């Protein structure tokens, strides 16, 4: 049973560039959430996708956008990269069940460095 | 607003010692869920436990135990007879009810178990 997978593992970009990160959810899960984890901090919620729609969003600028595909996989896009976007980006998947919240399973993350 | 506080930034113990990680949460909602996650150096967040606000029973799983006290808004985590493999960053997190899927994390406690 495959867990949550993310690609790439590491990425180095230059300020002003754009980046796309990818996530495949755990088998049987239909909901994908994205988190940003700065060094030494807890993860911060970016947004969540369910049924190909953004269902909830955290306090992140519009430079952060996403997409969910029919197979439930998801992409996180960040435009006009800033140095402060350097972080570990975590994808989490879960199963939506009647509006109740169950555990989110996390992937290994993508380490983004902006120079 | 929801908030999770982990006052202990770093803890260092010697193998076989017991250690308790503290977690204090804030929320005005009566329905909420509390979580503990472990983050080893590899970066992947590993789910440990989920509790809902209506279940104050303490839980034990092997060397791990959790003490949930609504009166003090605390959800503490104890590792008995710690092992080197327990070395990691541990995060306490909160989701409030009403369909929210946003995990609010504390800043984490880095546990080092020395041989």
C-alpha to C-alpha distance for B41 and B22, rounded to whole angstroms: 21
pLDDT tens-digit profile of B28-69? 988 899 999 999 988 889 999 988 888 888 888 899 999 999
Tokens encoding A33: 């959430």
Looking at chain B, the number of H-run helices and the number of E-run strands are 0, 12
Q: How far is CA B90 from CA A51, A75, B32, B37, in A?
A: 31, 27, 20, 6
| pLDDT of A101 above 60 | no
What's the pLDDT at A99?
A: 57
Query: Which residues of chain B neighbour A99 with C-beta distances below 8 Å?
Result: 99
Contact (CB, 8 A) for A48 and A32: yes
> What angle is formed at CA B68 by the lines to CA B67 and CA B73, rounded to 5 degrees?
130
Task: Please report which confidence band the pLDDT of residue B102 belongs to, taking 50, 70 and 90 as the band edges.
Answer: confident
Residue B30 to residues A102, A106, B4, B23, Cα–Cα distance (Å): 17, 27, 16, 18
The predicted model gives A42-70 an average pLDDT of 94
Q: Between chains, do A43 and B50 touch, taking CB under 8 Å as contact? A: no
Task: Give contacts of A92 with chain B, Cβ < 8 Å.
Answer: 45, 103
| Residues ≥6 apart with Cβ < 8 Å to A52 | A67, A68, A69, A70
Rounded Cα distance between B57 and B38, Å, is 21
Where does the pLDDT of residue A95 fall: very low under 50, low under 70, confident under 90, or very high at 90 and above?
confident
Q: Give the nearest partner residue to A103 out of B4, B50, B91, using CB atoms.
A: B50
């Amino acid at each position: 049973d495959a867990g949550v997978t993310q690609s790439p593992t590491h990425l180095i970009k230059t300020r002003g560039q754009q980046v796309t990160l990818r996530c495949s959810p755990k088998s049987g899960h239909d909901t994908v959430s994205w988190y940003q984890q700065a060094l030494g901090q807890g993860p911060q919620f970016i947004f969540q996708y369910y049924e190909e729609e953004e269902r909830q969003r955290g306090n992140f600028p519009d430079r952060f956008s996403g997409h969910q595909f029919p197979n439930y996989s998801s992409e996180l896009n960040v435009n006009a990269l800033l140095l402060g976007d350097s972080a570990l980006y975590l994808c989490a998947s879960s199963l939506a069940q009647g509006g109740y919240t169950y555990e989110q399973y996390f992937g290994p993350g993508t380490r983004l460095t902006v120079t | 607003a929801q908030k999770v506080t982990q006052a202990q930034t770093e803890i260092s113990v010697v193998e076989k010692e017991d250690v308790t990680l503290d977690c204090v949460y804030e929320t005005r909602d009566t329905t909420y869920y509390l979580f503990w996650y472990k983050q080893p150096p590899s970066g992947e967040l590993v789910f440990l436990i989920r509790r809902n606000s209506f279940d104050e029973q303490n839980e034990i799983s092997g060397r791990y135990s959790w003490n949930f006290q609504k009166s003090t808004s605390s959800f503490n985590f104890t590792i008995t007879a710690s092992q080197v493999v327990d070395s990691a960053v541990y995060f306490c997190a909160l989701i409030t009810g009403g369909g929210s899927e946003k995990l609010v994390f504390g800043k984490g406690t880095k546990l080092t178990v020395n041989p």
